[in-house]
Structure 1
Amino acid sequence: MIFRSIIVVFLLFLLIGCSLFGPKHLHKPLNIIHTNDKASPKIVLVVVDSLMDKSFKKAIQEGKAPALEFFLKHGRYNKELVSSYPTMSVTIDSSLLTGSYPDKHKIPGLVWFKDNEQRVINYGNGFIEMIKYGVPPFAQNSLYQFNNVDLSRNAKTIHEDLDTIGKQTSSINVLVYRGNYKHILNTPNILAKTISIPDQYQTNGPRMLSLGAFIRQDQENKHLLNRVGINDAFSVQELKYLFKNNLLPDFTVMYMPENDYSVHRKGPMTTKGLEKLDKHLQEVLDVFPKWENALDNMIWIIIGDSSQSAVKKNKKEALIDLRKALSNYKVLKLGEHAQNSDEVAITANERMAYIYNLGDNFSIRDIAQKLQGDTRIAWLAWKENGMNRVISGQHKGGLHFKPKGPYKDLYNQTWDIRGNNEILDLEIKDNHHITYKSYPDGLARLHGALHSHKGNFLIVDAKPGYEFIGESSPEHTGGGAHGSMHKDDSLTSMIVTGTNKNINHLRMIDLKWWILDIIEKK
């Protein structure tokens, strides 16, 4: 039994991951290579977890990232691509693939409480949390429920939309992949036997689907041990296979997760993850006779999914323990369904958290007031009387807002705004124009999170340097973390080669529509 337990723990460790142009802003390319107008270009979208401007430039300046430097030289670059919210991979990828915020695609975060099932949904937030939550429910959530149940059918993915116009697509190691084709995810035998989970899961994806050890195109791809194939080496091997066998479809999206691990451990300025990433990108470029040939009739889009902010080293200072702050309430324990006696559920997504009111004897406002005095919390938000309400311990009064009103932002979204604009660091000028400062596209992103799922809940967002923890949440003191709506977590880098077509707004949710427009016009 001891040996069996060790094996199970080891395998679980392998499974845990982090948990996925306006023209005036773009640098002019040194040598942009245009696609051939007589043929439709192939598009490859590479999603690099936690790709950030400062460490990106540092790696290039130190000569440690020749492949990234090559793409930069032959393309256009921007450092202010606005992510989704919360800035957690599953929510971001859902926004990227559907072109919408969580109020439409319905994936609230890596961890959240599902009201109609009275349980916490966990897609993989830390080793200890998963042990307590239970591996079979986690596997069901991640390998089936995520794409086939939780991701709203009202938000079509780019794979679904491209298939309707006869364009083939592929997904490599992206956790969000729903498409129009049925696939079987095969659980590695040792996992199925030792952890008592099904040996197969049915799912729907694009015509070509790769997801680590569960399904792959290259049957010779042996990069399966590290996190059961959800790693950079596996991703690159699959892409190389498509190139070498002339199988690359019209659109391919590939996820590279490992830079995120380095940043979590060492902080935002580390280049170690980017150095390893770059070697993998060099492998892809080396498939071609010359690196420049990789640009022939190809559009490469390399983006980060979010950034990370540095977390202070002192645990007592850096970690906001929500259990202690709400010790007067009975908090739902991990892995349990809510009972009548449970009053509060806490789901921490690193630098933001959802807090749910499960009781009848108090209000969300009561919970907010208990937390408002913590100076490490930037603001707290909830729904109230048809409006989104936001308060802060550092500012007087409150901010109320909802879509459609006299105020307009740079994304041509209009808002009804009342109260103290300083709480979300908004600047509103006499012409009713909204400028976002600390929280890019803050009104739409917060509205998206507040309306992402049913329930009576509060959102809390931490200041840079701090992180929320619940019962057994992972923590990143002395390293980096994301999750919040602050610009330090929300702005990421983007390189584009092969097209001069501008994107109307530089947000994650706009990329899908921009790519569709490029493909449909060819």
Structure 2
Amino acid sequence: MKIKDRVSLLLAVSLCLLTIGCRTDPGQQLNQQSVKSPASANQTAKPVILIVIDSLMDKPLQEAIRQGHAPALKHLLANGHYFPKVVSSFPTMSVTIDSTLLTGTYADRHHVPGLVWYSGKEKRMIFYGNGPKEAMKIDQPQVLIDSVQQLNQVQLNKETKTIHEELAEKGKKSASINAIVFRGKTEHSLKVPGWISAATHMPDALNVTGPEWLSYAAFAQLDPNNRHDRLWKKYGMNNDFSGHDVAYLITKKQLPPFTIAYFPENDMTVHRGGVANLDGIAKADQALQVALNAYGSWDRAVKNAVWIVMGDSAQSAVYDDRDKATVDLRPLLAPYRIAKIGQPVRPEDQVVISTNERMAYIYAIDKKVRLADIVKRLQAEDKLDIIAVKDGKNVRVTAGNTSDQFSYRPGGRYTDEYGQTWTISGEPKLADIAIANKRIKYGKYPDVLARLYGAVHSHEGRYVVVTIKPGYELVTESSPTHLGGGAHGSLHEKDSLVPMIVAGTDTRPKTLRLIDMKDWILQLANQ
């Protein structure tokens, strides 16, 4: 094989890696407060199996069940509880979401800002994987090292423990199957395929720490006979690979107290086919059936394990006209020298733009560039719905086509629906926030104060956080677009609310937010 052909295949590997208590009918809305909190439950400990279906959304899920495309999901829902509106993390991109899920914190504490960001310490842009146009311009071996090793061992805050680490400290095992974030206490050597290390500067193996059982596409698998890791199967980053390894643990009676398995394929299906597409849900259901079948019957599966099936983020529909759907940030910042993604950041560069589909970080790396000036230029674009910047102890928020703003910080006399307190001044209606009797009510931006605060304080540097209204995407140099399909990244509820099915327990998280999943899972696994 020629070197250039090997490198082309490496591109494919890098890109594909990153790329609910009473029973209820799928069409019914459950009173989400009716299910017990974990502390009030008293039940025999069962292994917890968390299945994360990328970009799973409530309406397509219910429609797939109604049309008979998702019998396994229907069975779990019919024998469990359904929560259609769980609040994701922010940015609504997989690496940040998974970091929140595993650590129980937002980005201000776990320090993984997004799929694309700029490290002031390393003076470089960090890519965990993105679209093919960007892939042709960036160092793919570095992307792979960042997305597998550096993300887990360096960039994910070591002071913030993962579920796997906390279980290990209690002497309990856990498993991670195709999850992007997997840091634990057990040392593993992920074998890099020989042709990749031979054709690039990558080592033969990537040393990481993870749970006792770690499965990661072509780099590591639990079942030596798992053959779903071929080139045409995205080297194992697929639903079948994940479902097969879950089934292996079950049939070998090696299922630990907690297992997380990632089903990635629905994400790309929605990106391409749109938010109403059901094909990805049907494929995920087929892989879920493999896992359920390992118990001999689906009823036995529900009896013997706690099953949690949920989305990570949603997606909002993108207009199919490029001129209408995309907003290029570069013309808005034209007076500045903007760093190019295909080369190292130069001393003369003034601004770095890191786009994450429907949100972006805009960095002022030149001390002469004022963040207030960047904000003013961004306000000229009326499609921008949130523009935020750190202002001392406060976060200052504005939007496109307005001079209104508001500031806020944690602690104060206003209390939101999650028990968090805040000090707020200005016009919070910019973020669809209503305040009455010192109580905060969120509108179309769920848990916006905490989630946005997390992003604004997620990493070092001077930067502006910006999001765009539904229907649109932010683009810069070679950014991926999803015209006529779906995209995510923003704070809007269309990107942020995901469904969750829980079977095998009558408990639920403290609040219906991804940030509270960790504590709930630990309580279930430690019973």
TM-score for the superposition, normalised by structure 1: 0.95
TM-superposed CA distance for 1:36, in Å, is 9.7
Q: The residue matched to 2:345 in structure 1 has which SS?
A: coil
- Shift in Å, 1:154: 1.3
Deviations 1:259-279 (A, max 9, x none): 001000011110010111111
Compare 501-510 and 122-131 and name the one that shifted more.
122-131
**Shift in Å, 1:90:** 0.2
Secondary structure of the 1:201 match is: strand
Residue 170 to residue 54, structure 1, CA distance change in 2 (3 Å): same
Which deviates more, 58-67 or 356-365? 356-365
Provide the residue aligned with 1:67 in structure 2. Answer: 72
Aligned equivalents of 1:126, 1:376: Cα separation in 2: 23
Larger CA deviation: 484-493 vs 497-506: 497-506
Instruction: Determine if contact 1:36/1:297 at 8 Å carries over to the other structure.
Output: no
Q: Is the 8 A contact 1:408 1:433 kept in 2?
A: yes
Partner of 2:26: none
Map 1:416-455 onto structure 2 (within 5 A): 416-429=423-436, 431-455=437-461
Offset of residue 28 of structure 1: 8.0
1:367 paired residue among 358, 362, 374: 374
In 1: Cα distance, 2:327 partner to 2:17 partner: 20
1:177 maps to: 182
Paired position in structure 2 for 1:249: 256
Question: Equivalent of 2:486, from 459, 480, 483?
Answer: 480
Q: How does 1:38-437 map to 2 (within 5 A)?
A: 39-225=44-230, 226-429=233-436, 431-437=437-443
Cross-structure match for 1:504 = 510
Q: Which whole-Å CA distance do the structure 2 matches of 1:218 and 1:156 have between them?
A: 28
CA contact (8 A) 2:251 2:295 kept: no
The CA distance in 2 between the partners of 1:18 and 1:432, in whole Å, is 45
Q: Which moved more, 1:253-262 or 1:122-131?
A: 122-131
Contact 1:396 1:420 in 2 (8 A): no
Distance 2:195 2:266 in 1: 28
Structure 1 range deviating more: 388-397 or 476-485: 388-397
Q: Is the 8 A contact 1:15 1:227 kept in 2?
A: no
- CA-CA distance at 1:296 after TM superposition: 2.0
User: Residue 460 in 1 paired to residue 466 in 2?
Assistant: yes
Aligned to 2:125, what secondary structure does the other structure show? Answer: strand
In structure 1, distance between residues paired with 2:325 and 2:5? 32
Q: 8 Å contact 2:381–2:401 — kept in the other structure?
A: no
2:25 corresponds in structure 1 to: none
Q: In 2, Cα distance between the equivalents of 1:382 and 1:27?
A: 35
**Could you give the per-residue CA deviations for residues 66-125 of structure 1, whole angstroms, max 9, x where no partner exists?**
111111100100111000000000000000000000000000000100011111011111
1:494 aligned counterpart, secondary structure: strand
Per-residue Cα deviation, 1:426-452 (whole angstroms, up to 9, x for no partner): 0000x2000000110000000000000
> Are the equivalent residues in 2 in contact too, given 1:123–1:142 (CA < 8 A)?
yes
Q: Aligned residue for 1:32?
A: none
Give 1:22 shift. Answer: 10
Which segment is superposed worse, 388-397 or 448-457?
388-397
Match of 2:501 in 1: 495
Q: Contact (CA 8 Å) 1:103, 1:453: kept in 2 or not? A: yes
RMSD of equivalent CA atoms: 1.9
Pair 176,460 (structure 1): closer, same or farther in 2 beyond 3 Å: same
Asked if 1 retains the 8 angstrom alpha-carbon contact of 2:20 and 2:77, the reply is: no
Bigger Cα displacement from structure 2, 389-398 vs 241-250: 389-398
Question: Do the aligned partners of residues 164 and 18 (structure 1) sit closer, same or farther apart at CA in structure 2, a change above 3 Å counting?
Answer: closer
Equivalents in 1 of 2:304, 2:291: separation in Å? 16
* Unpaired stretches in structure 2, ≥5 consecutive residues: 23-29, 36-40
Encode CA deviations 1:147-183: one digit per residue, 9 max, x unaligned. 0000001110000111111211000000100000100
State TM-score, norm by structure 2. 0.94
3-state secondary structure, aligned to 1:238: helix
Give the Å deviation of 1:20. 8.0
The aligned amino acid for 1:157 is T
Any idea what SS the aligned residue of 2:221 has?
A: coil
Percent of aligned positions that are identical: 43
What is the CA-CA distance between 1:11 and the residue it aligns to? Answer: 3.6
Write the distance in 1 (CA, Å) between the matches of 2:522 and 2:182. 16
Gaps of 5+ in 1: 30-34
- Amino acid of the structure 2 residue aligned with 1:407: Y
Contact 1:378 1:392 in 2 (8 A): yes
CA drift at 1:19: 4.7
- Return the letter of the residue paired with 1:75: G
Helix, strand or coil at the partner of 1:296: helix
Moved over 4 A (4+): 18-24
> How far does residue 18 in structure 1 lie from its aligned partner after superposition?
7.7
Q: Secondary structure at the match of 1:17?
A: helix
Separation of aligned partners in 2, 1:150 and 1:11: 23
